[in-house]
A and B are shown apart, each in its own frame.
Chain A
């Protein structure tokens, strides 16, 4: 293949990904190397990207950030399952086009299709990172895109996440999910607090510190707050924490009985929840600004775990009205209840951000994560024992899930692609980590 073809081929790969970001694998040939971007599943070929140490262009890198941020960006790109990080050894000197060109030439010879050059500027308590992304499949080493990000120095790690998300955007048309958080429950029997960390499990910080039992965190759609259930006042009540602000938790519901299982409406204005104040667990919707409460379900059985469709028009939930618990769907006003799943015991439904799929937990001796199309067709198993896998939460792009598994002997959080492949630990440690909630992209 000629070089001219190769130039076009990378452009085509990018364009195809932009045009068909929901499914089609793209197979092309560039310099005898397959350029293959498949944005939905795992197990396919990836785009090779070189990520050398970031170059310091202003200020002093006293903490080794050049090396660290390149590593984090590389890990983020690897996590996306779209890229393989290759060949990017060493650092590239500042303001030296010849050295840059030589590095790219070397990395391309070692198999890299693209190269990331990061440039760091330290300015007091702010750190700036510039991303320059190069196409290495052509001798021109074309600059595909560049972008600058700035953060307080203490949050420099987010610069790497933002660069990785931008690179994923450049190649797929949708940003990556590295600049996100995961909230989860950590602790032991009788003492459970909510923590949050970067999506990769790093930098854990407390969200609650009340010494009680805190359960089921759920990020609001603006990624500024978390709804959760806490026994802090003795009973299971619903609260909202503001983990980025100096602000006390807000009580959302503290009725007699259980107040639990928060599910945010896509616009963040309403919160579906389970209350048993009127006799048994039923689903209600709270309009957060006004405190208005509307009851949606009326059944003698258990109705709980509401999850909104991204359109806001429907709510999936579980009910044992037909025997063992199954997933049902109703209109957001509570009418037109119909079953989505049948057979088995199904809990923990979570509607995908794209609206096409609902994942849930199936119990068959142990628990595994399943998915079903939103029209009820094609129920399929995503995890395969032998221990329990449950409690899944979607990444904001609908490509990844996190869930909890006791495969290591204690409950920990893992991630996987939405087809069940590429399962990877997120949390490690001696304390249990359960009930993950993956945040939307941070503002």
Chain B
């Protein structure tokens, strides 16, 4: 071990001295200053701390705004007792047989209330991760929509939205609660 250490030091010294020759003796003196904030926002939060602005960026080109196709605002929809929610197994988006019966009843109501548009919300429990749950909630809303369409509800009457895990109906951390949150629920508004 002693011999090994000595060898390491000797080899290191050679490398170190070679690499540092000419630069180790003189201090490197450089100056750098952050540019002044140029018209930057000084948003202050609850802490009163100032935002630290880097220099203003050159303005990027026109925003590539994706013009939304007609999307009714979710706020215009309201829940009604006639349309019952359905529930899902953990990490699943297929319709369970008992829930298919609920959907059959929902489809019947929707067909006999043809003036109503329907919003299907897909939800997840808090487990899993945000991004995946947003996708999973979307799949739950989508399979629910597909089932209703297969039962004769016009697809054009249906809008879907995923809230992922962001809108739980129950906030305790146990399976009883989680099973209530893994759901698709229905809201309506007149055409």
Listed in ascending order, the chain A residues whose CB lies under 8 Å from chain B are 5, 8-9, 11-12, 14-16, 18-19, 26-29, 126, 128, 132, 142-152, 154-155, 158, 162, 181, 189-190, 192, 195, 202-206, 213, 215-216, 222-225, 229, 231, 233-237, 242-247, 250-261, 274, 276, 279-281, 286-293, 302, 304-305, 318, 324-325, 345, 347-348, 361, 363, 367, 390-391, 434-435, 442-443
Other-chain residue from A251, A261, A288 in contact with B66 (beta carbon distance below 8 A): A251
Assess A28 versus B30: contact at CB under 8 Å? Given A204-B45, A215-B166, A256-B71. no
Verify B45–A205 contact, CB threshold 8 A: yes
How far is B115's CA from A76's CA once the two chains are assembled, in angstroms?
63
Verify A11–B16 contact, CB threshold 8 A: yes
Closest to A152 in B: B37
Smallest CB–CB gap between B38 and chain A, Å?
9
How far is B70's CA from A255's CA once the two chains are assembled, in angstroms?
10
Verify B16–A305 contact, CB threshold 8 A: no
Verify B129–A391 contact, CB threshold 8 A: yes
B114 within 8 A of A: no
- At the interface with chain A, which of B51-59, B94-102, B104-112? B51-59
Verify B33–A15 contact, CB threshold 8 A: no
How far is B86's CA from A233's CA once the two chains are assembled, in angstroms?
26
B61 within 8 A of A: yes
Verify B49–A205 contact, CB threshold 8 A: yes
Smallest CB–CB gap between B176 and chain A, Å?
17
B152 within 8 A of A: no
Q: Which residues 55-98 in B have Cβ within 8 Å of A in the complex? A: 55-57, 60-61, 63-69, 71, 73-75, 91
Assess A28 versus B27: contact at CB under 8 Å? Given A251-B63, A256-B69, A274-B135. no
Assess A150 versus B33: contact at CB under 8 Å? Given A224-B54, A234-B71. yes
Verify A158–B47 contact, CB threshold 8 A: no
Smallest CB–CB gap between A373 and chain B, Å?
22
Task: Enumerate chain A residues within 8 angstroms of B135, measured Cβ to Cβ.
Answer: 258, 260, 274, 276, 281, 302, 304
How far is B139's CA from A345's CA once the two chains are assembled, in angstroms?
18
How far is B131's CA from A435's CA once the two chains are assembled, in angstroms?
10
Task: Enumerate chain B residues within 8 angstroms of A257, measured Cβ to Cβ.
Answer: 138, 160, 162
Other-chain residue from A8, A189, A242 in contact with B17 (beta carbon distance below 8 A): A8
25 residue pairs A–B, Cβ–Cβ below 8 Å: A9-B13, A12-B13, A29-B9, A128-B33, A142-B25, A155-B34, A189-B171, A204-B47, A205-B47, A205-B51, A215-B164, A231-B163, A245-B40, A250-B63, A251-B65, A254-B68, A255-B68, A274-B131, A276-B135, A289-B61, A290-B64, A302-B136, A347-B132, A363-B128, A434-B130
Please, what's the 1-or-0 string for B12-45, where 1 marks a CB less than 8 Å from any CB in chain A? Answer: 1101110110001101111111101101110111
Closest to B43 in A: A205
Closest to B51 in A: A205
Q: Which residues 126-181 in B have Cβ within 8 Å of A in the complex? A: 127-132, 134-136, 138-139, 142, 160-164, 166-168, 171
How far is B37's CA from A15's CA once the two chains are assembled, in angstroms?
37
Closest to A260 in B: B134
Task: Enumerate chain A residues within 8 angstroms of B16, measured Cβ to Cβ.
Answer: 8, 11-12, 14-16
Task: Enumerate chain A residues within 8 angstroms of B73, measured Cβ to Cβ.
Answer: 234
**Total cross-chain contacts (CB, 8 A):** 258
Assess A258 versus B138: contact at CB under 8 Å? Given A12-B15, A190-B167. yes
If over half of B's interface residues share one DSSP class (helix, strand or loop), that class is named, otherwise mixed; here it is loop
Other-chain residue from B20, B28, B56, B132 in contact with A304 (beta carbon distance below 8 A): B132
Closest to B44 in A: A205
Other-chain residue from A11, A225, A274, A367 in contact with B24 (beta carbon distance below 8 A): A11
How far is B68's CA from A253's CA once the two chains are assembled, in angstroms?
8
Verify A146–B28 contact, CB threshold 8 A: yes
How far is B63's CA from A286's CA once the two chains are assembled, in angstroms?
12
Verify A245–B41 contact, CB threshold 8 A: yes
Closest to A261 in B: B131
How far is B13's CA from A12's CA once the two chains are assembled, in angstroms?
6
Verify A158–B52 contact, CB threshold 8 A: yes
Verify A223–B29 contact, CB threshold 8 A: no
Verify B129–A291 contact, CB threshold 8 A: no
Verify B53–A244 contact, CB threshold 8 A: yes
Task: Enumerate chain A residues within 8 angstroms of B127, measured Cβ to Cβ.
Answer: 363
Verify B129–A348 contact, CB threshold 8 A: yes
How far is B134's CA from A237's CA once the two chains are assembled, in angstroms?
12
How far is B127's CA from A188's CA once the two chains are assembled, in angstroms?
16
Assess A16 versus B65: contact at CB under 8 Å? Given A11-B17, A236-B134, A302-B136. no
Assess A288 versus B64: contact at CB under 8 Å? Given A190-B167, A243-B51. yes
Verify A145–B27 contact, CB threshold 8 A: yes
How far is B62's CA from A250's CA once the two chains are assembled, in angstroms?
9
Closest to B21 in A: A11
Other-chain residue from A12, A149, A181, A292 in contact with B33 (beta carbon distance below 8 A): A149
Closest to B159 in A: A256
Verify A147–B166 contact, CB threshold 8 A: no
Task: Enumerate chain A residues within 8 angstroms of B46, measured Cβ to Cβ.
Answer: 204
Assess A18 versus B63: contact at CB under 8 Å? Given A12-B12, A144-B27, A244-B40. no
Assess A222 versus B45: contact at CB under 8 Å? Given A8-B17, A155-B52. no
How far is B129's CA from A347's CA once the two chains are assembled, in angstroms?
7
Verify A235–B129 contact, CB threshold 8 A: no
Verify A254–B66 contact, CB threshold 8 A: yes
Assess A16 versus B15: contact at CB under 8 Å? Given A190-B166, A235-B74. yes
Assess A302 versus B132: contact at CB under 8 Å? Given A11-B20, A205-B47. yes
